[in-house]
Amino acid sequence: MSDPPDMVTGNTEAPSGETQEAAPVGGAGEERRRRHDLWMSGTEVPPDLGRYTDEGSQEMLEHEDAGMLAEQWGTLVSDDYLEDPAASDEETQIVNMGPQHPATHGVLRLQVELEGETIRRAKPIIGYLHTGMEKTAERLSFLQGPTNVTRMDYLSPFFNELCFSLATERLLGIEIPPRARAIRVLMTEMNRVASHLVWLATQGLDIGALSMMLYGWRERELFLDFFEKVTGLRMNHNYIRPGGVAADLPDGWEEDVEAILAAMPGGLADYEGMLTENPIFIERTQGVGVITPEECLAYGVTGPVLRAAGVDWDLRKVAPYSGIDQYEFEVVTGQHGDTYDRYLVRLEEMRQSLAIVRQVAESMPAGDYRSDDRKVTPPPRARIDESMEALIHHFKIFTEGFKVPAGEVYEAVESPRGELGMYLVSDGGTKPWRLHVRGPSFANVQALPVLLTDSLIADTVATLASVDPVLGDVDR
């Protein structure tokens, strides 16, 4: 069928754009309206809407039906969607996302008030993963502390352990040997890459690039194998402890690191090829979830979200820890503070971290992997058979724990999500009096309404993935 018959009028002649006998505006229009009203009232008379001419089109727009029909027929091209002023009473709808939801990155509950597809208000409700870690920490000794805090931000366990160890060491006032510091930097920067890979996988998955999910985990397995070789566990390692690290790096670690460094650039190039120039990805992430630097500072938002908004703030440069200032790397910042910028920032951060890993691997100092202060670090196992003192130290450290002088300190590191801080109060005993963890995701989730208001509901998923919250951090 080339031209559909005029079903409404019953004319079998195809409607054309030619000017037929131009019906006088007043009379024919009125007639049309009368017949239309008859039709609407249920009588059988079909409305004669006349020829769809240019002159008649103005009258036809008076009838909504006529306009719509004309659009269907293609004889009338309407403008872009015009706001209907009649729909002024805002009917909003409250929709609940989570806590069990495939795209909320854990058990986050988001209550959004929708007007159509636009979010007018968003309220994050947290607490679904509250584990009482701060209370548990008061019962565990300082040596057992890392086992507790490492499970908090479960995607970057080394950072939790490092922060706790640094806080304890500050209170103890002990020096950490250079090799221990270098090992800490090595493991934490590799952890940063592994964590960003999970972010990349979930960001792609949430936007719809399902293959990104599988590729992200492919590279992560290399890191997890290395972690298992060094620490014994794939996750939640309890490796970085007050005094140093738990054990020295195994033989052959340089080859493993070299293999990872060789495999990563290819992987990253794959991901960039898949996403960075992808028009769908760009459409879904540019201009989405924008936050300004002032809002970031007011809410305490840190990490890649802050840097993507344009603020050059990275604790590794501002307040270096564990000797990380010996290594050369750049702090990556964005400009617009949208999801796309956060994507670019994290991608480049992965490259910078790999550069740090390479520098550490090439310049790893020899020496002790932990402090030799026998009151703090347990003696080597072989010595326990030889020396009574060593046996007693070992016993005391592992049962009672070592005593930490009274004081309070706040220590912060730059975790993949932002500033991870721990406020540690000791009363001179073997267990912390109070451990408060400043989780970066807590502040980032608090800033979610800023990112989500006045955006579309479909953008929630992309924005949430780009903020990269870990609910263990939020709820503790």
Partner 1 sequence: MAFTDLAARFPQAVFRTSYGQDVVRVERGDLVAFVSAARADGFDFFIDLCAVDYLTRRPHRFELVVNIVSTKQESRLRILTGIPGGDPVAPSLTGLYAGANFYEREAYDLFGIRFDGHPDLTRIVLPDDWQGHPLRKDAPMGSVPVQFKEADA
Partner 2 sequence: MARAEGSTSLLTTTLNKAVNWARTRSMWPATFGLACCAIEMMATGAAHHDLARFGMEVFRASPRQADLMIVAGRVSQKMAPVLRQIYDQMAEPKWVISMGACASTGGMFNNYALVQGVDQVVPVDIYVPGCPPGPQSLQHGILTLHERIQRGS
CB of 108 to partner 2, least distance (A): 11
Instruction: Provide the 8-state DSSP code for 174.
Output: P
Q: State yes or no: residue 94 binds partner 1 (CB under 8 A).
A: no
Rounded Cα distance, 158 and 150, in Å: 7
300 makes contact, choosing from partner 2, partner 1, none, with CB < 5 to 8 Å by partner type, with: partner 1
Q: Based on the shown chain and the rule CB under 8 A, indicate whether residue 476 belongs to the binding site for partner 1.
A: yes
Q: Is 15 helix (H, G, I), strand (E, B) or coil?
A: coil
Q: How far is the CB of 461 from partner 2 (least distance, A)?
A: 12
Q: How many CA atoms lie within 13 A of 384 on its CB side?
A: 11
Whole-number Å distance between alpha carbons of 302 and 468 = 12
Q: Which does 318 bind (CB under 5 to 8 A by kind): partner 2, partner 1, none?
A: partner 1
Closest of 286, 268, 252 to residue 352, by C-alpha: 268
C-alpha 416/C-alpha 54 separation (Å) is 62
CB 109 within 8 A of CB 470: no
Stretch of 41-49, 134-142, 242-250, 346-354 lying at the interface with partner 1 (CB under 8 A): 134-142
User: CB within 8 A of 299, min separation 6: which ones?
Assistant: 443, 446, 447, 450
Binder of residue 235, out of partner 2, partner 1, none (CB less than 5 to 8 A by kind): partner 2
The reply to whether 139 sits near partner 1 by the rule CB under 8 A is: yes
List contacts with partner 2 (CB under 8 A): 99-102, 106-107, 127-133, 135-136, 147-148, 151, 154-155, 198, 213-214, 217-218, 220-221, 224, 234-236, 471-472, 475
Residue 6: partners with Cβ closer than 8 Å, 6 or more residues away: 12, 13, 14, 15
CA angle 308, 201, 277 (to 5 degrees): 60
Residue 159 CB neighbours (<10 A): 26
282 touches partner 1 (CB under 8 A): no
> Is residue 299 a contact residue for partner 1 (CB under 8 A)?
yes
CB closer to partner 1, 314 vs 468: 314
Q: Residue 38's binding partner, choosing from partner 1, partner 2, none, with beta-carbon cut-off 5 to 8 A by kind? A: none
Per CB under 8 A, the segment of 228-236, 321-329, 337-345, 404-412 that binds partner 1 is: 404-412
Site for partner 1 in 432-451 (CB under 8 A): 433-434, 436, 438, 442-443, 445-447
Instruction: Decide: is 287 part of the binding site for partner 1 (CB under 8 A).
Output: no
Provide, rounded to whole angstroms, the least separation between the CB of residue 191 and partner 1: 22
CB 438 within 8 A of CB 419: yes
Beta bridge mates, 424:
409, 435
Cα 265 → chain centroid:
22
Q: Which residues bind partner 1 (CB under 8 A)?
A: 126-127, 130, 132, 134-136, 139, 170-171, 295, 297-302, 311, 313, 318-319, 407-410, 412, 419, 421, 423, 425, 427, 433-434, 436, 438, 442-443, 445-447, 475-476
